[in-house]
Amino acid sequence: MPMKCVIGIDTGTTHFKTALISADGEIISIEKAAAPLHTCGQESWYKPLQVYEIVKGQIQRMVRKVSGRKDLEICGICLTGMAEAGLILGRKTREELTEILPWFDKRPAELAKQLMEERIRRQYQKTGLYNSYKYGIYKYMWLIENKKLEKSTSIWLSLSDYIAFKLTGEYSTTAGFAARTYAYDMTHESWDREQLERYGLAVENFPSVRKEGEPIGLCTDKELCEILGSHVAVAISGHDHVCALYAITGEESTRIVDSCGTAETYMGITDKAPLKEEDFNQGIVLGPYPGEAKQFWMGNIPSSGQSVEWFRKGCGNQIKERVLTYEELEAMLENRAGEPTGLFYFPFLSGVGTPVYRGDIKEQLHWKMEDVSSEISLKAIIEGIQYQGTWIMECAGRRVIKNHRQLWCVGGAAKSGEWMKIKADILGMPVYVPCMEEATLVGAAAIFFMKMEENDFSDGAWKKRKEDIRIYLPEKETQAKYRVLAEEYRRRAKQICEIKG
């Protein structure tokens, strides 16, 4: 009997990836391309039709690679990607009316600033989110105003929603993507009519909302149907962070997943419960999660990997007259293994994420780099990122991580053994690094198979992949020293945020 497979599509910030993934989690084939970002000054955008042609081309090339494989059956296409990127279409004309704005485009920032504190607190109780220019409602309104479009005849789609529309002709999204518009009521699982009315919008301006992984319809793209057949279901699995979390945890609530990239996110699963006024002060983002009566929690460090890249380029130019390699960074950390540096780096290159969410705070080194060796400076930067992680844990611990016992790391930084050792010592808990490539795509496939009626999802095979891991344990004496330093870091970080406030 042929192995069932799904085509996973991940439209990420830096790369678009399309992979063929089997029901036991194996990536059979993958296509990658740089995200086709266009920029002009402070403006950034993607061209919708260009985006779809890239994704479509990846599907075509990949399917042709395995066309002779009789042991494989492609039964679906699942989508994931950036949470807040999106565009406007004509609801009836079905034409693209705008470019796709990426999540980091700040042109809608002034609209976000108009929301009053009381309203921000009320929206948190509905959305689990803190006010930000990134959200779809602000992008939608900015495009309406600046492109002189009619609200009544338009519809907003996230990037993944748009790909699904091009594949099926259906306007559909998931609760997770809907929530990132800042106009979806997570508690009542419906579009927030009060919020929509505030902007002169209606439910018809947004797609219908389905469960993560639930099929939207069949692929109707004629050229793709020629190579896939007419039986291939299309589903949106959820946004990228949720899919990566699902790949590692499934519905296991004792694990924290730390995705270490340019930005760093700590995520876990908690029981779904109505949000209260006091929950706003914890500084933790919450959102819909696949499965019954669950939601995810998340804290972030916007400039985690960015801090290391800043050092890699700046220090590299000083001592090597070129950018340092990652192998050189690892060797530098190995030379400084053991004792803490005692220095404090605040990873606020692009502002503070959890728990204050302030883009206007810019702090970095609290020492002169020329006064210490480059090895000490690098280790102090890595330490500072982990100290900030302890602040996230402190905030999350008030409500959501009481039962969490394990930290699972994925992403570029997880390849550094020395980085992971420092993380284990500072956070004071075991750090697990699964040997799983493309966790976001694997998670998207897992969600798809979980929702299939003919579910041949192989728990044993997936479990084996997740347990093929490297483990880093905290060293007791070093951990004790770091505990004192982390407390001092948090005291200083809170003081910086209060001063800047």
- Asked if the model's pLDDT at residue 460 lies above 60, the reply is no
The string of pLDDT tens digits covering residues 291-303 is 777 899 999 998 8
Across the range 365-393, mean pLDDT stands at 87
Q: Which residue has the tokens 């678009």?
A: 16
- Asked if the model's pLDDT at residue 373 lies above 90, the reply is no
Q: Which residue has the tokens 């611990």?
A: 397
Residues 6+ apart with CB under 8 A from 217: 168, 169, 170, 233, 234
On average, the pLDDT of the chain sits at: 89
Q: At what angle do helices 476-500 and 374-397 cross, to 10 degrees?
A: 80
The answer to whether 78 touches 11, Cβ cutoff 8 Å, is no
Distance CA 35, CA 82 (A): 11
Q: Which residue has the tokens 């018809």?
A: 204
Distance CA 280, CA 166 (A): 38
Topology (CATH) of 304-394+492-500? Nucleotidyltransferase; domain 5 (3.30.420)
Q: How confident is the model at residue 310 (pLDDT cuts 50, 70, 90)?
A: confident
Give the pTM.
0.88
Name the token pair of 97.
């009316």
Name the token pair of 146.
């600046």
The predicted pLDDT at position 454 comes to 46
Q: In CATH terms, are 3-238 and 304-394+492-500 the same topology?
A: yes
Class of domain 3-238: alpha beta
Helix, strand and coil percent figures for the chain, each rounded to 5: 40, 25, 35
What would the DSSP string read from start to end of 81-135?
A: E-SS-EEEEETTT--B-SPBBPTT--TTHHHHHTS-HHHHHHHHHHHS----TTS
Amino acid at 210: R
The string of pLDDT tens digits covering residues 361-372 is 877 777 666 678
The predicted pLDDT at position 463 comes to 59
Distance CA 241, CA 248 (A): 11
Burial of 73 (0-12, 13-18, 19+ CB in 10 A): middle
What are the b/e assignments for 395-407, b being 16+ CB within 10 Å?
bbeebbbeebebb
CA angle 5/11/16 to nearest 5° reads: 85
The string of pLDDT tens digits covering residues 246-293 is 988 887 777 889 988 778 899 988 888 888 888 888 889 999 998 777
- Domain ranges for the chain: 3-238, 304-394+492-500
Q: How confident is the model at residue 469 (pLDDT cuts 50, 70, 90)?
A: confident
Element housing 170 (H / E):
none
Residues 6+ apart with CB under 8 A from 371: none
